[in-house]
Structure 1
Amino acid sequence: MKKSFRLRARAFSRLSVPAISVLSLTMTSWAQAQTIEINPVVISATRVEQKLSNVIPSATVITRAEIERAQAPTLVDLLQGQPGIEIGRNGGPGTYSSIFMRGQNSNNVAVYIDGVRVQTDSIGALRLVDMPPNQIEKVEILRGNMGAVYGDSAVGGVINIFTRAGAGSFGPTASVSYGSRNTSDVGLGYNTKGEDFRLGISVHKFDTDGYSAMQHSQNPTTVNPDKDAFKRHSIFLNGEKMIGKDLAIGFQINNIESKADYDSTSNPKWGPASTNDKQNNKQNSSDVTGYSKFNLSTAWSSRVGLTESKFKNSDFYNGAANGQFDGEQRNIQWSNVYRLGHGNVTFGADGTNTNFKTTTEYNRKSLGYYAGYSGLYEKLDYQINLRHDQVKSKSTSTSIDKSANTWLLGLGYLLTEKFKLTGLVSTSFRAPNTAELFDVPAWGTTGNLNLKPEEHKGLELGASYATELGTLRLVRFESKTTNAIAYKSGTPSYENIGLVENKGYETGFSGVSNGWVYKLSAVHQDPINAQTGARLARRAREYGSIYVGKTLLGIDWGTQIVASGNRVDETRSLESYTLVHFSAAKKMTPEWTGRIKIENAFDQKYQLAYGYDTPPRGVFVSMQYQPK
């Protein structure tokens, strides 16, 4: 661990707890003690409900209470500081973002929203920036190889997002916030239910003047130093109807529109940009899902779902159109759970048909079949998964077929009532995406039809200690990637570069003691290109976060520290950083809650991508109405 990173983290950790106590003396009120959900129910690891303490893979849950406390403008902001996750971003909210899990590339992550895989563009970039956090009920994060459960690209991990459809209180809801950089966030919703149905609707509007996306001092002659704004409007609808005791049908509909100003060092003709140039990006996405859930017997439950997604990405340069990307995706899922013996059998199939269009049309079809068995017998937890995937990519008259078989074996053993050992071995894969296989004239890249699928192997060994006050877990992880696909800048094209490795340790703790709430994580890793020994771009060797909270004088006070060691970005260096956020929440009545957050309280200057700015200090105030 670098000395500078270690000293800064220690300094801020000494500062944070006294700071909460000093601030708390300035206000008086009442409230219940702050709590944390130590052992929530999750379903992501096996597709079956189980307590977090029984999950064999490394997992974390972001609860609704944590989401409200974070007051994050986007999903990417919410994920920053979570165990096993690093972020790269080209500016502020709404700009191009990357998620690195367990040191893997950003296209080696699978993201699901209410069980439906998030649409990607032709280069595998996830459509993440548009998801409003105030529409999220919880997020389950699985770290490591999960390809045998979720298929293609589930290599670094899986992020499973559950929206507020059918969750929370019934009746009207409202929230409004305002803060630095003229940032406003307004949400309205209404949920109702009857004896055999439920309906819900919510609308959201987010606006911020932002800040300059690129660091002007690092690009003094090519970057416009003006503020880069971001706007997002969204609507969500959902409903479900019971038909008898064994059948339910439902729907979910959403539409999200956003506009993000951004900076670039080049113009549309690949020449240098001007300091007067104005560039922005508009996105529109929609999803329509229909599903049916039914019990075939007392032991067998099944679900069938169909989702139609559309995505439009339009770019503008000084007010003129500068390229457009369109995507359509159809996804069908059939999932089953059958209770057998001491565990559950899971099996099913999922298929996706995606069309991409720039100046050229592309198509990608995937079909996967899976089966698994998981359960608990006396002191032994077990999980076995098998999966077969087929991926077919097409451009004009050229078609490329890839397939893979993946597996996972996990075991956990309870040595005592509190102490548990776990082990997991797994394989996964990523098939080349259409932009890697085929020429993309609009982007000036050349495809490589000879690309092989990436193949991944993972190993985890863990130990956990759990009491009613908290849970501590330590994990040793290793991953090896063969046929890793990398960008070849000279051509520009893509190539298989051989072996990529990552080895490291991950520790996490969440608990409550004497009215204090704690949640912390720390990662030490070494993600490298084994052929050259070079560290992978934008990934630190050490990073982590700490949250400390307590209720004093009726107010929930909190401090979060997010720290990262240095990183490399091509030939440049990104310095280590430590961010400190303060928060406070007060229940005015059983229905009304007021919140305040000081983001980046000490105005730390840092970068997540070379040449790009990050948020300076900001203060944000919000009010929320939630019926009891």
Structure 2
Amino acid sequence: MGTFSYKKSNKLSKIAMLISSVLGLSAFSAVAAEVVDEKITVTGSRFDRTAEQQLTVINTIEREEIARLNPKSVADVLEILPGVSVSRNGGAGQSTSISLRGSNSNHVLVLVDGVKVGSATLGTVSFNTLSPENIERIEVLKGPRASVWGSDAIGGVIQIFTRQLKGGEWFAGAEYGNNDYIRGSFGAGLTHGEGSTTLSVNHEQSEGYDVYNGAEVENDDDGYKRSAISLKGSQQINSNWQALWNGQYDKGNTQYDDIYASGSADESDYENYLWNLATQYSRDQFISKLAVSQSRDHNENFRGDDASVPVSIFETKRNQVNWSNQYLAANELTFTGGIDWSNESVQGDYAQDERDLFGAYALVQKQWSKLLAEVAVRYDDVENIDSEVSYNASLAYQFNEQWRLAATTGTAFKAPTFNDLYWPGSGNPDLISETAESYDLTLNFTAKDVRAYISVFQNKIDNLIAWAPTGEKDDYGWDIWKPANINEAEIRGVELSANYQLFNLDHQLGYTYLDAENVQTGEQLVGRSENEFNYMLSYSWEQFDLLANYHYQGKRYAGNDEFFDATHKVDLSIGYQLDDAWSLRLKANNLFDEEIISAQNYFSPGREFFLSVSYQAF
């Protein structure tokens, strides 16, 4: 999990933190007003579920809220959620890591419209390549869900759904801001018989700023540009059969700093895509869906001012077949199950450059009056590595219309990447999968105008892959280091979320307390904040709307006995509706110009302003 340092906090302070969080949740029960809309999610089981049917913590962010946030990256959207921590190597176009509940960034499974994305060489996802303007909804599932989705879901699952419009609806927008930021976007919905298709296009670019503050590196602006096209549609063939399709294409360029001033690469081109074709059969209480998809992650690194520097190319291609089924039996009994197959291939001089992964899963959910139970089990076989059996068991009790208590336990795993196994000269083909076992206890409260929960969780991760000396020497007498399954970590925490209305204002707050430690040393893990807090306030009056967001991130260990200071960041968004279709929005990021460092010597942008105009026809 990286380098480790400062000692654990006093246990009494942890208990006090938990008690105060519980009291805070109880205080919200005194608030009352209009009804909160029901949320439908699919990530927990691959099929539509209401909040009452979910036994894991799932946060959702809808298109309307994304528009008011006016984010410059997907990380800007995710950061407002409790249990989600973001580390940036600069601004919107730079490398970004997302951690769920203190897990590693490569312990998060990321899906776009049900298709797994990311690099099989690095094991991570380039969030900086995804355009927020092409997103309809994001679902973030907390805790392991390998029993449904397979490898990578140790910390949780992030599923991104692309824009979807009805026939005849369309939108267009333009934006300008600091560092010569420019954005243009367009989308339209087309009706064809008993179906529709949405096309969304977005382009944005920025001259950027100098993201790295090292003493001997390039003192130049590090800009970026990215373009994205997404297509999403469905066609009702008859009363039982439906065809579905979606695709996304992302292309762009990112400039960064050669931090060692070695004359190596300082610029990167990427070209990623995915497509998915599916058919769904529905009859009475039975639904069956078969999907065939492909995703590619392609990246080229080079020296921007020296064409003689060779290009390094990293490419992952993933072919996938998914068959999912759901049957609603009598007496509130639901059966879900399916089969997943995928083939991952990489480009490069690897001893093995492709592998097959096979998984089969089954989930049963049963309701007895106020008691809801769920059991899920999955078998995965990863070629040339090992096989894993994962499970989830959950139980929830509905005390009354407002209060519900849910308990969950489960296991998860992360298969080694191609770099871990086969990187020329340093891979270790004897690696096994990282494994995890977790526990979660969540108290939910829902009233007329408030939805809140408090979740206490623990996640123990074994066989973590880290670099270690092999005991051998190279030709020059230096120790040979290779990846090995040597580390263990235990992560405990409290997560609190509340959405409520008070004094005609909408309030949304999230708080996470985290104790993430190295089991062997008792020291805290690098990059984790013990305390992280987000508060968002919004208000609408006639043609105006206002959104203010405050984010606090506590100090984090940075390695080498150094710490990143705690940071306070305030963003402000003001919208004005000119008429039914036209609107203006002014966005201020980091309003008080806070110096924010989330990775060593990498600075986030200072104060930024953006002005956008948009048109939406319904």
What is the distance in 2 between the residues matched to 1:323 and 1:195? 47
Q: Name the counterpart of 2:126.
A: 127
Q: Name the counterpart of 1:482.
A: 462
Secondary structure of the structure 1 residue equivalent to 2:64 = helix
Corresponding letter in the other structure for 2:368: Y
What is the distance in 2 between the residues matched to 1:406 and 1:521? 30
Decide whether the 8 Å contact of 1:46 with 1:374 is kept in 2: no
Could you tell me which of 449, 452, 460 is aligned with 1:469? 449
What is the distance in 2 between the residues matched to 1:452 and 1:36? 49
Q: Name the counterpart of 1:575.
A: 565
Tell me the CA shift for residue 377 of structure 1: 3.0
Could you tell me which of 337, 362, 368 is aligned with 2:353? 362
The question of 1:383 aligning with 2:382 is answered no
What is the distance in 2 between the residues matched to 1:605 and 1:37? 37
Q: Name the counterpart of 1:279.
A: 266
What is the distance in 1 between the residues matched to 2:180 and 2:53? 45
Q: Could you give the per-residue CA deviations for residues 523-560 of structure 1, whole angstroms, max 9, x where no partner exists?
A: 11111111122222211111120101112454111110
Q: Could you give the per-residue CA deviations for residues 220-267 of structure 1, whole angstroms, max 9, x where no partner exists?
A: 12x11211001001222233222111111232222211100001223x
Q: Could you give the per-residue CA deviations for residues 182-209 of structure 1, whole angstroms, max 9, x where no partner exists?
A: 1111101221114312122221111111
The question of 1:309 aligning with 2:295 is answered yes
Corresponding letter in the other structure for 2:457: F
The question of 1:94 aligning with 2:93 is answered yes
Could you tell me which of 318, 323, 326 is aligned with 1:329? 318
Q: Name the counterpart of 1:149.
A: 148
Could you tell me which of 194, 198, 201 is aligned with 1:200? 198
Tell me the CA shift for residue 491 of structure 1: 4.3
Could you tell me which of 239, 253, 256 is aligned with 2:250? 256
Q: Could you give the per-residue CA deviations for residues 296-323 of structure 1, whole angstroms, max 9, x where no partner exists?
A: x312111111112233211111333331
Decide whether the 8 Å contact of 1:248 with 1:294 is kept in 2: yes
Which runs of 5 or more residues in structure 1 are unaligned?
3-33, 267-271, 393-399
Q: Name the counterpart of 1:243.
A: 237
Could you tell me which of 488, 501, 516 is aligned with 1:512? 501
Moved more, 304-313 or 555-564: 304-313
What is the distance in 2 between the residues matched to 1:109 and 1:611? 25
Q: Name the counterpart of 1:596.
A: 586
Secondary structure of the structure 2 residue equivalent to 1:590 = coil
Secondary structure of the structure 1 residue equivalent to 2:413 = strand
Secondary structure of the structure 1 residue equivalent to 2:416 = coil
Identity %: 24
Q: Name the counterpart of 1:176.
A: 174
Corresponding letter in the other structure for 2:273: S
What is the distance in 2 between the residues matched to 1:343 and 1:587? 47
Tell me the CA shift for residue 584 of structure 1: 1.1
Secondary structure of the structure 2 residue equivalent to 1:181 = coil
Decide whether the 8 Å contact of 1:373 with 1:384 is kept in 2: yes
Relative to structure 1, the CA distance from residue 491 to residue 65 in structure 2 (aligned partners, 3 Å threshold; closer, same or farther) is: farther
Q: Name the counterpart of 2:215.
A: 220
Secondary structure of the structure 1 residue equivalent to 2:602 = coil
What is the distance in 1 between the residues matched to 2:229 and 2:439? 41
Corresponding letter in the other structure for 2:450: G
Tell me the CA shift for residue 81 of structure 1: 2.9
What is the distance in 2 between the residues matched to 1:141 and 1:36? 23
Q: Name the counterpart of 1:21.
A: none
Tell me the CA shift for residue 332 of structure 1: 0.9
The question of 1:425 aligning with 2:409 is answered yes
Decide whether the 8 Å contact of 2:432 with 2:485 is kept in 1: yes
Could you tell me which of 562, 574, 582 is aligned with 1:584? 574
Q: Name the counterpart of 1:413.
A: 397
Q: Name the counterpart of 2:278.
A: 291
Relative to structure 1, the CA distance from residue 615 to residue 156 in structure 2 (aligned partners, 3 Å threshold; closer, same or farther) is: same
Decide whether the 8 Å contact of 1:38 with 1:470 is kept in 2: no
What is the distance in 2 between the residues matched to 1:496 and 1:250? 41
What is the distance in 1 between the residues matched to 2:221 and 2:166? 37
Relative to structure 1, the CA distance from residue 578 to residue 422 in structure 2 (aligned partners, 3 Å threshold; closer, same or farther) is: same
The question of 1:619 aligning with 2:609 is answered yes
Relative to structure 1, the CA distance from residue 375 to residue 556 in structure 2 (aligned partners, 3 Å threshold; closer, same or farther) is: farther
Which runs of 5 or more residues in structure 2 are unaligned?
1-7, 10-32, 470-478
Relative to structure 1, the CA distance from residue 433 to residue 173 in structure 2 (aligned partners, 3 Å threshold; closer, same or farther) is: same
Q: Could you give the per-residue CA deviations for residues 92-131 of structure 1, whole angstroms, max 9, x where no partner exists?
A: 2232221111111111100111111113231202133222
Corresponding letter in the other structure for 1:310: R
What is the distance in 2 between the residues matched to 1:36 and 1:69? 21
Q: Name the counterpart of 1:16.
A: none
Tell me the CA shift for residue 599 of structure 1: 0.4
Relative to structure 1, the CA distance from residue 491 to residue 618 in structure 2 (aligned partners, 3 Å threshold; closer, same or farther) is: farther
Tell me the CA shift for residue 168 of structure 1: 5.5
Could you tell me which of 436, 440, 443 is aligned with 2:420? 436
**TM-score where L is the length of structure 2:** 0.89
Tell me the CA shift for residue 58 of structure 1: 1.4
Decide whether the 8 Å contact of 1:38 with 1:510 is kept in 2: no
Secondary structure of the structure 2 residue equivalent to 1:561 = strand
Decide whether the 8 Å contact of 1:118 with 1:127 is kept in 2: no
Secondary structure of the structure 1 residue equivalent to 2:247 = strand
Moved more, 426-435 or 376-385: 376-385
Relative to structure 1, the CA distance from residue 538 to residue 36 in structure 2 (aligned partners, 3 Å threshold; closer, same or farther) is: farther
Secondary structure of the structure 1 residue equivalent to 2:513 = strand
What is the distance in 1 between the residues matched to 2:154 and 2:83? 13
Decide whether the 8 Å contact of 2:83 with 2:100 is kept in 1: yes
Decide whether the 8 Å contact of 1:471 with 1:511 is kept in 2: yes
Corresponding letter in the other structure for 1:292: T
Q: Name the counterpart of 1:347.
A: 337
Tell me the CA shift for residue 440 of structure 1: 3.2
What is the distance in 1 between the residues matched to 2:358 and 2:510? 36
Decide whether the 8 Å contact of 2:36 with 2:451 is kept in 1: no
Decide whether the 8 Å contact of 1:35 with 1:517 is kept in 2: no
What is the distance in 1 between the residues matched to 2:559 and 2:382? 31
Relative to structure 1, the CA distance from residue 327 to residue 453 in structure 2 (aligned partners, 3 Å threshold; closer, same or farther) is: closer
Relative to structure 1, the CA distance from residue 37 to residue 93 in structure 2 (aligned partners, 3 Å threshold; closer, same or farther) is: farther
What is the distance in 2 between the residues matched to 1:401 and 1:517? 50
Tell me the CA shift for residue 375 of structure 1: 4.5
For these two proteins, the number of residue pairs brought into alignment is 573
Q: CA RMSD in A?
A: 2.1
Decide whether the 8 Å contact of 2:167 with 2:196 is kept in 1: no
Tell me the CA shift for residue 452 of structure 1: 2.5
Decide whether the 8 Å contact of 1:90 with 1:213 is kept in 2: yes
Relative to structure 1, the CA distance from residue 540 to residue 451 in structure 2 (aligned partners, 3 Å threshold; closer, same or farther) is: same
What is the distance in 2 between the residues matched to 1:315 and 1:278? 6
Q: Name the counterpart of 2:25.
A: none
Decide whether the 8 Å contact of 1:603 with 1:617 is kept in 2: yes
Q: Name the counterpart of 1:17.
A: none
Decide whether the 8 Å contact of 2:69 with 2:547 is kept in 1: no
Secondary structure of the structure 1 residue equivalent to 2:173 = strand
What is the distance in 1 between the residues matched to 2:136 and 2:34? 17
Q: Name the counterpart of 2:533.
A: 544
Tell me the CA shift for residue 386 of structure 1: 0.7
Decide whether the 8 Å contact of 1:75 with 1:129 is kept in 2: yes
